[in-house]
């Protein structure tokens, strides 16, 4: 057996259960089904924001930093290191991205922000890989230390008046936005409120009009991550040290080096997510800007079963929920209960056929509860609307838990020759 074949076996995991992977056709089918479902919600309730250009743009803007944090978690955990410190590395990305953009322009600022996150990843790798510190302890320390570091840097850079925020970026200090020609002309079609056709027009305008180049970069990074991790020798080595570092070591792989690669790339991805928050979602660095997106990114990664395609779907789901609560949240969330209830009841039937009785019962109860709330309440309380993204995270992870499989050596302490 060749070295690559043995590495492939190590990367696959000796105890991995056989499962269907989420291929391109399945992802496209899910997207099409979701669009039809949202169109039905729009038709039945008249809630325009569920597929409007503004809602889709807001959802995309919310999903990108979550997806980048999730990509960071994916790289680290595929190398066998749990990176709870993604939130802290995003914080470093926000500050360094804003500072770099103010000093040197948008593209240099982008690189400096990525470097700030990568340094956070390097510190986490040093603690966990070299010194064997517990991964959770190191990640929590990173998350606690990063806001303190950025507060100090803000104070010495912008004075006491700017200790919690930076000066606002000027238009020439932000990455340009682009639009696909003629797509904005679909505005008239969107306003006609024709079933599915107007909804598709709204979605296309939201996705293809005034899109930041950083957004395009983030989408490309999802594809690139899949190509590198699953279609290159480098990615094969990274995954092998996350599944079976002893086997990888026996084949001559420097396990420490590849763990460092994975965690540093992880921090860089999180740093880019922070840059996005400070320079694309807004034009200013603010303390607390990340708002827990590093943790939601981890949830999106777990939802996606440690694979880029599923991660992208998870980030889109959480980003869309987050966007709706910012735009006429009560009306939109109330309308979506129709679709949520139908999906949960369909999931209950599916899981019942597979004899997963606990998940089936839980899904059925939540589905019925969705319809009870829809028909008995005219307006969702503001507090519940604001909590919708976090409730979505908990429900999705709870229902998906039985089909998940993390890398076999994820979070385990490794010592060469031990």
Nearest to 114 by CA among 271, 291, 335: 271
**pLDDT for the residue numbered 15:** 45
Q: What is the mean pLDDT of each run of 10 residues along the chain (418 residues)?
A: 63 53 71 89 85 90 95 97 97 97 96 97 96 95 95 88 85 94 89 89 93 96 96 95 93 94 98 97 93 92 90 89 72 84 89 85 91 86 75 76 83 81
**pLDDT for the residue numbered 332:** 79
**pLDDT for the residue numbered 80:** 96
**pLDDT for the residue numbered 350:** 87
**pLDDT for the residue numbered 7:** 65
Strand-pairing partners, residue 212, are 177
**pLDDT for the residue numbered 14:** 47
Q: Is 19 exposed, middle or buried (0-12, 13-18, 19+ CB in 10 A)?
A: exposed
Domain ranges of the chain: 53-308
**pLDDT for the residue numbered 351:** 85
Give the chain as a 3 state SS string.
CCHHHHHHHHHHCCCCCCCCCCCHHHHHHHHHHHHHHHHHHHHHHCCHHHCCHHHHHHHHHHHHHHHHHHHHHHHHHHCCCCCCCHHHHHHHHHHHHHHHHHHHCHHHHHHHHHHHHHHHHHHHHHHHHHCCCCHHHHHHHHHHHHHHHHHHHHHHHHCHHHCCECCCCCHHHCCCEECCCCHHHHHHHHHCCCCCHHHHHHHHHHHHCCEEHHHHHHHHHHHHHHHHHHHCHHHHHHHHHHHCHHHHHHCCCCHHHHHHHHHHHHHHHHHHHHHHHHHHHCCCCECCCCCCHHHHHHHHHHHCCCCHHHHHHHHHHHHHHHHHCCCCHHHHHHHHHHHHHHHHHHHHHHHHHCCCHHHHHHHHHHHHHHHHHHHHCCCCCHHHHHCHHHHHHHHHHHHHHHHCCCCCCCCCCCCCCC
- Is the separation of the CB atoms in 308 and 126 below 8 Å? no
Phi first, then psi: give them for residue 411, nearest 5 degrees.
80, 0
């Amino acid at each position: 057996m060749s070295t690559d074949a043995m590495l492939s076996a190590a990367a696959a995991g000796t105890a991995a259960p056989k499962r269907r992977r989420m291929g391109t056709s399945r992802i496209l089918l899910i997207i099409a089904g979701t669009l039809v479902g949202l169109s039905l919600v729009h038709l039945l309730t008249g809630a325009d924001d569920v597929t409007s250009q503004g809602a889709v743009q807001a959802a995309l803007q919310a999903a990108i930093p979550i997806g980048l944090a999730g990509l960071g978690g994916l790289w680290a955990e595929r190398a066998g290191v749990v990176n709870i410190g993604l939130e802290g590395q995003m914080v470093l990305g926000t500050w360094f991205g804003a500072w770099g953009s103010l000093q040197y322009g948008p593209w240099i600022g982008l690189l400096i922000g990525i470097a700030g996150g990568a340094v956070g990843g390097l510190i986490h790798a040093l603690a966990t890989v070299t010194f064997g510190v517990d991964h959770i302890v190191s990640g929590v320390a990173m998350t606690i230390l990063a806001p303190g570091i950025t507060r100090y840097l803000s104070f010495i850079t912008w004075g006491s008046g700017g200790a919690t925020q930076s000066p606002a970026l000027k238009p020439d200090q932000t990455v340009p936005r682009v639009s696909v020609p003629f797509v904005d002309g679909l505005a008239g079609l969107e306003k006609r409120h024709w079933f599915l056709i107007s909804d598709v027009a709204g979605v296309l305008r939201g996705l293809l009009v005034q899109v930041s180049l950083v957004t395009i970069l983030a989408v490309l990074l999802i594809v690139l991550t899949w190509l590198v991790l699953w279609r290159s020798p480098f990615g094969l080595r990274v995954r092998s040290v996350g599944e079976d570092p002893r086997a990888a070591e026996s084949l001559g792989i420097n396990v420490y080096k590849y763990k460092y690669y994975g965690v540093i790339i992880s921090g860089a991805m999180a740093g880019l997510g922070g840059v996005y928050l400070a320079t694309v979602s807004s034009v200013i660095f603010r303390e607390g800007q990340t708002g827990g997106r590093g943790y939601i990114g981890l949830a999106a990664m777990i939802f996606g079963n440690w694979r880029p395609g599923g991660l992208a779907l998870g980030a889109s789901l959480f980003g869309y929920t987050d966007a709706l609560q910012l735009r006429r949240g009560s009306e939109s969330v109330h309308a979506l209960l129709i679709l949520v209830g139908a999906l949960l009841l369909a999931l209950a039937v599916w899981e019942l056929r597979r004899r997963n009785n606990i998940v089936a019962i839980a899904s059925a109860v939540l589905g019925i509860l969705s319809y009870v709330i829809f028909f008995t309440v005219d307006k969702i309380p503001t507090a519940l609307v604001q909590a919708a993204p976090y409730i979505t995270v908990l429900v999705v992870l709870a229902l998906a838990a039985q089909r998940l499989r993390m890398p076999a050596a994820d979070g385990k302490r490794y010592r060469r020759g031990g």
